[in-house]
Amino acid sequence: MTSELTVVGMGMIGASFALALRRKFDQISILEPDDGHAAHALASGQADARVSEVPPAADAVLLACPSDRIAGWIERLADHRGLVMDTGSVKGALIGEVRARLGRLPENWVPCHPIAGLEQSGPAVADGSLFEGRKVILTPQSEVSTDLVSRAAALWRAAGAAVEQMDPEVHDQVYARTSHLPHLLAFAYLLGVDSADLDHTGGGFRDFSRIGGSDPVMWSGIFERNAPALLAALATFEGHLGDFRRAIEAGDTDGCRRLIADARKRRAELEAE
């Protein structure tokens, strides 16, 4: 019996997943609206066939399309025989949207979030080792069997990833703090940079602002879908920024030093991990 993987959306994530699992499946089919992307994926051997709907016999389906189309695909595939995985960065809102559309959660869907590669896009930058050593978070709900969750985990592990399960709300709060807020701050920061400043970027600018080059459509979608957790993280940040502003305005250098020492301690905890 042949095994088949279908990838919906051959962007960087979808194409890298196809490459990483090339030998795990007898057949890899793709749904990709962009003719150039599809042609590249087939010509470079990332996939075997372009299809216009998900084959009923597919054993696994990876949804790596833009985030605003994921819920529609999950609804359409709700009674498909295969394992359905998405790759969205926000889990709580997606689960809520699917439940609102269907009145239930499908038994074949394991929500997944691979922590990898959001700064570039397209199949030309696909990399079969993209997931190696990266985390993939699964946030399965009670509707799905532990067997299916194990199958999803095994596929990501075969792609080299370290798999972890989290509650979707906790996931969204943690990634609001460690990923979404840093992107928001880098974007807001870049808006205040003067053209004349770009000659003087040796003092911290480059590291700090690198993530500010990320994709506007993807990130405005993430901000929209994770708004509650992101706004909470932002409020906490604004509180700490206010502490700094007041200390600087008051010439309270000791107070500033203590705040910086606390921040540095937090950073050192990370390095010790």
Residues numbered 6 to 25 that lie near its own copies (CB under 8 A) are none
Q: How many residues bind its own copies (CB under 8 A)?
A: 89
Q: Which long-range contacts (CB under 8 A, 24 or more apart) does 149-156 make?
A: 149/110, 151/60, 151/83, 152/83, 152/85, 152/110, 152/112, 155/21, 155/24, 155/60, 155/83, 155/85, 156/112, 156/114, 156/131
Mark 50-89 with x for binding to its own copies (rule: CB under 8 A) and - for no binding: ---------------------------------------x
Residue 202 CB, shortest distance to its own copies, in Å, is 4
Residue closer to its own copies by CB (options 103, 133) is 133
Residue 234 CB, shortest distance to its own copies, in Å, is 6
**Residue 99: strand, helix, or coil:** helix
Residue 93 CB, shortest distance to its own copies, in Å, is 12
Tokens at 157, concatenated: 């592990």
Q: Report the sign of the C-alpha dihedral through residues 114, 168, 83, 80, in that order.
A: negative
What is the layout of strands, in order, in the sheet containing 83-86?
A: 49-50, 27-31, 4-8, 60-63, 83-86, 109-110
The length of the chain in residues reads 273
Residue closer to its own copies by CB (options 142, 195) is 195
Mark 204-243 with x for binding to its own copies (rule: CB under 8 A) and - for no binding: xxxxxxxxxxxxxx-xxx-xx--x--xx-xx-xxxxxx-x
Residues numbered 148 to 207 that lie near its own copies (CB under 8 A) are 174-175, 177-207
Residue 147 touches its own copies, criterion: CB under 8 A: no
Residue 222 CB, shortest distance to its own copies, in Å, is 10
Residues numbered 103 to 132 that lie near its own copies (CB under 8 A) are 115-116, 118
